[in-house]
Amino acid sequence: VEAVLPSTNTEMKKRIVNTPHNLANGDVVLAEVQTAGRGRHGREWLAPVGGSLTFSMYWSFPDGYQSMAGLSLLVGLAVCEGLKAVGVDDAQLKWPNDVYLQGKKLAGILIEVEGQIGATAHSVIGIGLNVCMPENQYDVGQPHTDLAAFLGFAPDRNSLAAAIIHALCDLLPKFSQQGFGPFVDLWQAMDLYADKTIVLQMGEKRFSGVDRGVDASGALLVETRDGITRFHGGEVSLRGQ
């Protein structure tokens, strides 16, 4: 546990490079305050002092990068499982990496990897979750919420961290062995946009269709008049209509 870190993901990546033999699956770096939190594609993740839960977990995949397919979705499931410990049992998931509550963003997940294709992939599982965000102080740029707004009080961050870490350590061994396949139904039951029309943004390109869930690799299935198209995590951003 650190008081202040630029980013718990960056700190964990440093540890993978500098002291890999000291790391075991499930090791976690937590920060009280994160000063330079990141989202995907270098976007910013805002975390108010004392009002956010930010941590990163280490997990290795000996079969390499390809065996991580669907990891951000699996982590979303673990966050939802952990949230039950503080009385939140209707969180939803937005493909590929966000946790929503009452239609607004509650938490983000950032998966990064150190290691070569073919060799062991050393993954960093970063989670940022809004516990109590001061109103109007942060320009987040999209609808967001926090646990205090939903519950009427700010839950204990240590208990919440413990519950999410526990859920991750529970789900990750099965995921490592069997991939995302066994979790598809669970994920689809929590899909924010299940059977809804969505818009996918890929750089300048846009693609619209109906969300038909995910496959065993965690790819999103989008239905149009031409049939089903699969989208993989890295390339696209998804919005409702």
Catalytic residues: 40, 105, 239
d(CA 57, CA 79): 13
Q: Which of residues 95-154 bind ligand ATP (CB under 6 A)?
A: 97-98, 105, 108, 130, 140-142, 144
Residues 29-48 that bind ligand ATP (CB under 6 A): 39-40, 43-46
**CB nearest ligand ATP: which residue?**
39
> What 3-state DSSP class applies to 180?
coil
Q: Which residues, numbered 60-99, are part of the site for ligand ATP (CB under 6 A)? A: 97-98
Q: Give the shortest CB-52-to-ligand ATP separation in angstroms.
A: 7
Q: Which is nearer to ligand ATP, 112 or 176 (CB)?
A: 112
Using CB atoms within 10 Å of the CB of residue 6, give its burial: 0 to 12 exposed, 13 to 18 middle, 19+ buried: middle
CB-based contacts of 19-26 (< 8 A; 24+ apart in sequence): 20/122, 23/58, 23/60, 23/122, 24/58, 25/58, 25/59, 25/60, 25/172, 26/57, 26/58, 26/59, 26/165, 26/168, 26/169, 26/172
Residue from 17, 1, 10, 12 nearest 35 by CA: 10
Q: 3-class DSSP state for residue 81?
A: helix
Binding to ligand ATP, residues 183-222 (CB under 6 A): none
3-state secondary structure of 191: strand
Give whichever of 98 and 191 is closer to ligand ATP, judged by the CB atom. 98
SS3 state at 59: strand
* Residue the block writes with tokens 């350590």: 169
Please count the other Cβ atoms lying within 10 Å of the Cβ belonging to residue 168: 24
Q: Is 155 in the site for ligand ATP (CB under 6 A)?
A: no
- Residue 176 backbone phi and psi in degrees, to 5: -60, -35
Nearest approach, Cβ of 144 to ligand ATP (angstroms)?
4
Q: Any contact of residue 233 with ligand ATP (CB under 6 A)?
A: no
Minimum CB–partner distance for residue 62 and ligand ATP (Å): 28
Total of chain residues touching ligand ATP, rule CB under 6 A? 17
CB of 239 to ligand ATP, least distance (A): 8
CB of 45 to ligand ATP, least distance (A): 5
Residue closer to ligand ATP (CB basis): 178 or 201: 201
For ligand ATP, which is the closer residue by CB, 57 or 198?
198
* Residues found near ligand ATP in the complex (CB under 6 A): 39-40, 43-46, 97-98, 105, 108, 130, 140-142, 144, 237-238
